[in-house]
Structure 1
Amino acid sequence: MQRSSIAKAITLAGASGLLLVGAQAQAQDTFEWKLVTSWPKNFPGVGQGPERLAKLVEEMSDGRLTIEVFGAGQLVPGFEVFDAVAEGTAQMGHSASYYWKGKAPAAQFFAAVPFGMNAQEMNAWLHYGGGLELWNELYDDFGVEVMTAGASGVQMGGWYNQEINSVDDLDGLKMRMPGLGGEVMNRMGVAIVNMPGGEIFTSLQSGAIDATEWIGPYNDLAFGLHQAAEYYYYPGWHEPTVMFEAIVNDEALAELPADLQAILRTAVRDVNQDVLDEYTARNNDALATLINEHDVQLRKLPDDVLAQAQEISAEVVQELADSSDIAGRIYESYRDFQDKVVNYHAISEQAYYNARNPDGGTDFGQE
């Protein structure tokens, strides 16, 4: 009996050891991913977000998950990021969802809505108001999962090679502006041209376009847009923020052990806040540089332009909401959340801004 018990114990111990070794081997599996973006490699702000993500993931996973980042055009063109991830050419992508309006028109709601929610409000809706669940439902048929991966904050109204004094001055202009804002401008008489960021400067300089919006002072200065257009307009009514997305191939994500999935999600959430923080910090000095060192003419968009843009925006957004069941549900959720947050911010954020800056606070040291 004693010999039998000892034999059983040895057998069980051996089996347990094999299971432990197997679990340890599985835990030490390594994964090498490709991440494609719609931005130039290492471009300030939005382009550096994916680089930070890759660094965080490698450090947090002790090298078990490494991510190689490709800028627009290095592996696939900037506007083919979604397809590359959906088809498995790359396991991950970083972009903005309004570029995929041809595949999923309702995706535009998650990038930027004219006169809609800002970055703080969008993050609240996406993470605590059901927005992210709807975004993933929209992408389900494409075999990708989406996570929020940064925000621009309120953008600028754009660069123009002529002064805009009224709505009439927009008629016939050729302008680069994506998403719902581009459709609004189109109905205001502007010919909209879509192109990735890396093509903007040469197109503006050559006269292929008369105006453009990109992101804001930090990125616009990096692209040298002040060398191709003199007038810089605000506010960015068309993009109160752009939410950047990290899209992940479903099959690739499922292959990761649970701890690596958690590491990836945590790193993306960190980058989501970090990108917005950097834009908030860098735009201030960049705008001062554009004005004081490069003689850029900062202008506020005329009241009639803003009024007409707001009126047409309501029509464009409602038409999109009416285009499909899921678009309607997304917009209903978006609108309900915006109504609530606007009411609260009227007596919190907005009231504080008005009290802190009774003069408007628009002095950037113009001489």
Structure 2
Amino acid sequence: MWVIVLLKKITAFLFVLLFAFPNVAYSSSFSASSVCVMDMTTRQMLYENNIYEHRSVASTTKIMTCFLACKSGNLDKTIKITSQMLDECEGTMLYLKAGDTVTLYDLCVGMMLASGNDCANAVAFTLSGSLKAFADLMNSTASKLGMNNTHFITPSGLDDDKPYSCAYDMALLSANAMENEFFSEIVSMQSAEVTVSGEKKTIYNHNKLLGYNLKDGEFVGIKTGFTENAGRCLVSAKKYNGNTIICVTLNCPDDWDAHTYFTEICEQKYNAVSISNVISIDTVGSEKAYVKCTYNKKRYLLGSVKVLEYYFPFVYAPVKKGDKLGEVIVYYNNKILERLPIEADEDVKEYGKQQSGTPSKVYG
């Protein structure tokens, strides 16, 4: 039997410290055509400017191509490169040749780090059999994700035929893609070794934000892009106090500095939330009437949390400091954010003869 306690967002024991910050202002020093900054967990907008304007997004298109490959579950599959896969390739390349063999995983690495258009085409043919069929898959997936201002034509983002998207849609796509462990692993690499026809080669990520020495977090992805039509495009993901901030700039000449600036000022929108309580659980078989338990965790979040406590109504002595006597479940945005153990803060010695039976004393 458990004691279940629901602590609402503000009680005597759950302290939620909310700090009021001014609205984030747009800096005129950055000339991006579109900017979208989004919290990855909640999809809440942290900053927006022309987020629904249709624009070419260049090689950030490869975010969708890689996402679909990672979702396929066949990343270990070995692909034989055909001349058909290479027919319409130009621009940045891994310089694959017809007859080469390479895994689907390494094609994704080549596509996201070196921005290989040949890798993107090879992925498209592997998953769908043709560029047209793959474009259909890209667009149907975009529709399911709620990307209502997007139309893909190529897997690489070459924009001769005028594909388009918008900053909001690219942020939404990136938030979904970064939840895939294979995708997030690939886009966080500063460099990687790929194997083509048994020959290893080292490639380097075009994303210069990776490895930045920041005092308040780190960039962990995701993709650069450039064409004459699109201008400089950049999608980044930054870790900040347990959160991930997605930032998209389209047609922004100074995108490296812009992403550092926008993510830093948007961090001010997160509130310091202290999740804590002191619990007394009755004891049986000891001179001490109860054992004291506490938990304490600080998080930075955009809103309130709901906390459920599960713990025994009583425990039998002896109890050792650190014994797990229950669990706290923290809900945020209607999902489980984390689980915290409820542990004894002290030893409780046994007094006299313990009652018969073997009641459960430690949760788990």
Instruction: Give the TM-score of the pair, scaled to structure 1.
Output: 0.25
Choose between structure 1 and 2: higher strand proportion: 2
Q: Tell me the TM-score normalized by structure 2.
A: 0.26
More helix by share: 1
